[in-house]
Amino acid sequence: MTVKPAATRFVPTREQYAWTFGGCEPVMRIQPGEILDLYTEDAFAGQIRSSDDLPSRSITYPFINPQTGPFHVEGAEPGDTLAIHLIDVQPARDWGVSTTVPLFGALTSTKFTPTRDRRVVTYSALDSVPRTELPLEPFLGTVGVAPAAGEARNVLVPEAFGGIMDTPEARAGTTIYLGVNVEGALFSIGDGHYTMGEGEVCGVAVEGSMDTLLTVDLVKGVYCEWPRLEDDDTIMVAGSYRPLEDAFRIAHTQLVRWIAEATGLSVLDAYQLVTQGSRSPIANVCDANYTIVAKIPKRYLPDVDWMGGTHRRLRGIATATRDPQG
Amino acid sequence: MTVKPAATRFVPTREQYAWTFGGCEPVMRIQPGEILDLYTEDAFAGQIRSSDDLPSRSITYPFINPQTGPFHVEGAEPGDTLAIHLIDVQPARDWGVSTTVPLFGALTSTKFTPTRDRRVVTYSALDSVPRTELPLEPFLGTVGVAPAAGEARNVLVPEAFGGIMDTPEARAGTTIYLGVNVEGALFSIGDGHYTMGEGEVCGVAVEGSMDTLLTVDLVKGVYCEWPRLEDDDTIMVAGSYRPLEDAFRIAHTQLVRWIAEATGLSVLDAYQLVTQGSRSPIANVCDANYTIVAKIPKRYLPDVDWMGGTHRRLRGIATATRDPQG
Amino acid sequence: MTVKPAATRFVPTREQYAWTFGGCEPVMRIQPGEILDLYTEDAFAGQIRSSDDLPSRSITYPFINPQTGPFHVEGAEPGDTLAIHLIDVQPARDWGVSTTVPLFGALTSTKFTPTRDRRVVTYSALDSVPRTELPLEPFLGTVGVAPAAGEARNVLVPEAFGGIMDTPEARAGTTIYLGVNVEGALFSIGDGHYTMGEGEVCGVAVEGSMDTLLTVDLVKGVYCEWPRLEDDDTIMVAGSYRPLEDAFRIAHTQLVRWIAEATGLSVLDAYQLVTQGSRSPIANVCDANYTIVAKIPKRYLPDVDWMGGTHRRLRGIATATRDPQG
Amino acid sequence: MTVKPAATRFVPTREQYAWTFGGCEPVMRIQPGEILDLYTEDAFAGQIRSSDDLPSRSITYPFINPQTGPFHVEGAEPGDTLAIHLIDVQPARDWGVSTTVPLFGALTSTKFTPTRDRRVVTYSALDSVPRTELPLEPFLGTVGVAPAAGEARNVLVPEAFGGIMDTPEARAGTTIYLGVNVEGALFSIGDGHYTMGEGEVCGVAVEGSMDTLLTVDLVKGVYCEWPRLEDDDTIMVAGSYRPLEDAFRIAHTQLVRWIAEATGLSVLDAYQLVTQGSRSPIANVCDANYTIVAKIPKRYLPDVDWMGGTHRRLRGIATATRDPQG
């Protein structure tokens, strides 16, 4: 019988919320391989609970999108890469919320009901009759580390350090690789989404608090310039910039480069493979930078150990955690 | 026993190729409901057959991407919408080709082998060792009508009139709706792709000649400002512009408006549904305008007859055509 | 005593207006060196005469911005460059007009009074009290030839063929060089502005009909990819595209290349000189493409005959025309 | 006889350089109305002195563009505006430097010689023969305060807090208004340019160390969202964002709003005046955000006290400083 690893639970107090990446003191020091069980508040800091709670009254910018963290990872040094493996991401409440803020100041708040057992989110239109069920697809809108060059960035800006990328790929089963810029890496997470269309068109997904189980590892001496993601089937890079084509260019250039370095394919051949075999899901077109993910199935590529096999190792820890009898 | 409708076969001569949308004499007049069986040459006009055929020598701009058409549809008048239903789109050759034209002038031509029975495209890297099989997913890069305002546009420009949108959604089973700007609509098709990643990163998909079976219908008195697409499961709008976020905005704004008009949902509720339920596949980030498709499953929406049930009717004709015993 | 060259006067009828560049039959054939005296109607085709004439009622898109032309220049062949020298550009009426079309559909029409003797334009605010005098700085918003690649473009689109660049540099004393794409070049002019701020912020300058005196010449065997402009003191290139930084890149890249070719400076040295010495006036940020002009004083550059001395020669003809005793 | 106000001289040591806006301890506390005489090192921190000093070897990112500051202004509170009046901006050395970093890695360093008496900058081409004299037009590329929302931004990013706007308008005689986000405002300056073309095309102006004489004031209870500038003749707003059209939109929207608020003109009338009378010089198209300045002559506008007459008051202090007999 395997002993199930113990998870460290952390629920931030209101005073512990982080509002920037960089420039915050760590809330905790952790070891690579340690399991964390983290609570994240929703993007409205839990202040919008009914269609009477108008964002304009309940929320004071910039105190939107509180992060849980930052966590100092022992041994992480500038020039390394931090690997964060999401073991489980589950709604912590039985309701989520979204709002629409159209150009002329009108405003609606819409309450969604995620039914965890049936794995759906029910949408009740505010102005119109019909009800709709969308699949429950929980993920973290925000995963990031302290930025480079001494910067501290607001939690509404995604960039090379990660942050509010708003990609549904940041879900259970995915490993996120982020280049380490400061001692301890100082990562935070937040902005749980119960479901979201691509691009987060109106700027607000079905927002909700989350319970996230994760573990981390370090890839020493390798620095990812932009966030890489890996799950069992695909490798991905997230690019975040403006205009949107620059996000696209960053993501695909980095993906081509990663494939060429890891497989020994020439850059031009990697470029051809990406051209014919990649997918480019738009993550957000609403934040301070826009995000696009370039992804390609591993089965189209030579069989190599991506990032030194880190994802597979963390997956093993995750399996042991979720299934103690494993 | 149903009598299978006869299809009109058309293979353009080299002199009949169309190089613009608008400004060309029709090659044929057809009736709504008629079945066409059209041959399209590849984007290189069949001039690239081995890695010795350098595009710079074989191709003279602007004679790239020859179109088959235009076809004059009897009864089509400005203010109507033309519905083109793709019944079948099949590779007409057992090889396709792609090239890479990187910044510094280097150049590779790569031959792909589509195996029609096994439905795969085999990729043999030119500089490196491995072979890869990608799924055979044939579609038409170009579908369009004559533009508005007296314009004639080069076949390398997608816009409100359709054209080289390069979306894999233009495949067998899809109906494409295009607003009619001139008497007869004057539609053309071309630019067959055997497979392609999203965004057509290097600017060239696996290009190949095609045999396309299609039929058309008219939606009288309804004008689509931007191309709409419909298949059995989803409705879509294609936006084409620069920068890429403008293509995104066009596609999603038009989709929200279409849903609100057709279902009676308020615009804000339609906006919320699109935000949480849409997908936004990038079609191209390489042409003179960039293209994004906004799509949403019909099952998330009230059950209505989209575009007056045109797709369902054309689907019936298609089924009778493909399956004479049907 | 010099004999003053006779000018050919042309005033288009309503039926002769051109609404595209390309795709129109010439209204006249002319010889290089011939003097033309052309009337152009304002962008509203003269339909807005008071603040009661709402554009939404008086104007039917795409019949905006009528052009005078096209003119077939004898001897102009694809691969040549057409030089158009503006000898004089004068308001043909004692009133001009502008409108504001804000986002929500509100609408104002404002009448400006250009006082030709005092060389000012008087602005009377519609909603508010004050009157303001702006300097009278008449220029042509639109100068262009038939585009390449068989295209016909709406008169609201500037591009490599010129068109509605909306640059105040297209004024008396300037020579505009445009690459010839079709037999006869087929140039047109229009969209007179009595004055305009940079960027044409609200989309409408002080619009007015014009009398323009011009002459043309051919630079055989030299093809300008983008519009070049030259006056006595400066050389310029106009780039038109989206996003705005691409217009900037086109204009400056072309200017660096032009300088390097004409002067023998290395590309890097030309690049340095342009970086430290150029000005980059924004022409428009409101049309279908945006336009930026890159300009540099000739006195910062080696003393060469720009475009084979064409501007100087045409300037000579102009002087003889304006001043018969010259 | 007027007593000339004493200026406080400050020359930062290498350890005192600031590399971010925000996140730095103040180097000094000052009073409104105090005169500062500040030395700023050049953007290369003085490390490039000949064409043998390759930036790639001498400079370690992000230690580019050291700032002198930040200065804590007594009494400055979030919600106020800080006014910085530049009294004098003079080259502190008799040489400046520029480099070109083209796409392929080639690299040149070019030394310019500003002749202070003759007020010119002499350019000796590195690859080619000619010498050119450009006018000496010294200004500060960087003027900024600590950003809002707890951010710290690298000195290579211009935004709402100012920073590396690279506008030649930041020269002697100009007052720069910046919204205060933190106690004390914490402003810094740097990046002296001896001359520069618009757009800073190759990314590097003629860079040089500077001696700057300035004074500051507070506009209590008024918060400028974006940097405003004022000199004796014009008012201006600087917008910094991507793509370039967004910088344009920010600058002009803010200028229209400022005029309407200060003069009582309706927004539409202010919009018309800006459309016909503004200039929109491009400041940079090379930094992490692009900058455009919208400017309009005061003589086109109603005669009001802009920003409560702050510029005029500071101008008075400046005159007393420069001309003690004044």
Contacts of D153 (CB under 8 A, 6+ apart): A151, D20, D21, D22, D147, D159, D161, D163
Residue D323 has pLDDT above 50, yes or no: yes
pLDDT at A177: 98
Between B296 and C100, the more confident residue is: B296
The whole-angstrom distance between A248's CA and the closest CA on chain C is: 15
| b (16+ CB within 10 A) / e for A200-238 | bbbbbbbbbbbbbbbbbbbbeebebebbbbbbeebbbbb
pLDDT at B77: 98
Residue B111 has pLDDT above 60, yes or no: no
Please report, in tens digits, the pLDDT of each residue of chain A (326 residues total).
445 568 999 999 999 999 999 999 999 999 999 999 999 999 888 887 766 666 666 667 778 899 999 999 999 999 999 999 999 999 998 888 776 543 322 334 455 666 566 677 776 666 665 677 888 899 999 999 999 999 999 999 999 999 999 999 999 999 999 999 999 999 999 999 998 888 777 777 888 999 999 999 999 999 999 999 999 999 999 999 999 999 999 999 999 999 999 999 999 889 888 988 999 999 999 888 999 999 999 999 999 999 999 999 999 999 888 654 43
Residues of D at the B interface (Cβ-Cβ below 8 Å)? 103-104, 243
pLDDT at C170: 97
Residue of chain C minimizing CA distance to A242: C243
Which chains border C (3 or more CB–CB pairs < 8 Å)? Answer: A, B, D
C-alpha to C-alpha distance for A204 and A193, rounded to whole angstroms? 9
Cβ-based contacts of D151 with chain A (< 8 Å): 20, 23, 151-154
C-alpha to C-alpha distance for C169 and C196, rounded to whole angstroms? 11
Based on the number of CB atoms within 10 Å of its own CB, is C245 exposed (0-12), middle (13-18) or buried (19 or more)?
buried
pLDDT at A115: 59
Choosing among B25, B61, B151, which should be mutated to test the C contact, i.e. which has the most C CBs within 10 A?
Answer: B151
| CB-closest option in C149, C242, C243 to B154 | C149
Residue C219 has pLDDT above 90, yes or no: yes
C-alpha to C-alpha distance for A283 and A239, rounded to whole angstroms? 10
pLDDT at D197: 79
Segment among C244-253, C278-287, D121-130 with least mean pLDDT: D121-130
Cβ-based contacts of A282 with chain B (< 8 Å): 248, 280, 282, 292
pLDDT at C102: 37
pLDDT tens, position by position, B152-187 = 999 999 999 999 999 999 999 999 999 999 999 999
Put residue C156 in one of left, alpha, beta given phi > 0 → left and psi -120 to 50 → alpha.
Answer: alpha
pLDDT band at C262 (very low <50, low <70, confident <90, very high): very high
Choosing among C65, C151, C245, C253, which should be mutated to test the B contact, i.e. which has the most B CBs within 10 A?
Answer: C151
pLDDT at A108: 43
- Averaged over D68-93, what is the pLDDT? 97
User: Is A285 within 8 Å of A201 (Cβ atoms)?
Assistant: yes
Residues of B at the C interface (Cβ-Cβ below 8 Å)? 19-20, 22-23, 61-62, 148-154, 241-243, 246
In the block, residue with structure tokens 């009740």: A124
pLDDT tens, position by position, C58-71 = 667 778 899 999 99
pLDDT tens, position by position, D92-134 = 988 877 765 433 223 344 556 665 666 777 766 666 656 778 8
pLDDT at A103: 31
pLDDT at C280: 93
pLDDT at B202: 75
pLDDT at A326: 38
Share of chain D above pLDDT 70, in %: 85
pLDDT at A52: 67
pLDDT tens, position by position, B190-215 = 999 998 888 777 777 888 999 999 99
Q: What is the pTM of this model?
A: 0.92
pLDDT at B199: 75
Cβ-based contacts of A285 with chain B (< 8 Å): 245, 248
Cβ-based contacts of C243 with chain D (< 8 Å): 243-245
Question: What value of ipTM does the predicted structure carry?
Answer: 0.89
The DSSP bridge partners found for residue A110 are: A98
pLDDT band at C113 (very low <50, low <70, confident <90, very high): low
pLDDT tens, position by position, D182-198 = 999 999 999 999 988 77
- Interface contact D197-C275, CB threshold 8 A: yes
pLDDT tens, position by position, B224-252 = 999 999 999 999 999 999 999 999 999 99
Between D202 and A257, the more confident residue is: A257
The whole-angstrom distance between C17's CA and the closest CA on chain B is: 13
Residue B118 has pLDDT above 70, yes or no: no
pLDDT at B326: 37
DSSP state letters, B98-136: EEE--TTS--EEEEEEEETTTTEEEEE-SSSS-EEEEE-
Q: What is the 3-state secondary structure (H, E, C) of D168-201?
A: CCCCCCCEEEEECCCCCCCEEEEEEEEECCCECC
- Averaged over B63-85, what is the pLDDT? 96
pLDDT at A89: 96
Cβ-based contacts of B98 with chain A (< 8 Å): 272, 275-276
C-alpha to C-alpha distance for C123 and C133, rounded to whole angstroms? 6
* CATH topology for the A7-320 domain: Jelly Rolls (2.60.120)
Long-range contacts from D114-120, C-beta under 8 angstroms, 24+ separation? D114/D194, D114/D195, D114/D206, D114/D208, D116/D90, D116/D91
In the block, residue with structure tokens 């079709």: C182
pLDDT band at C201 (very low <50, low <70, confident <90, very high): confident
- Averaged over D272-297, what is the pLDDT? 92
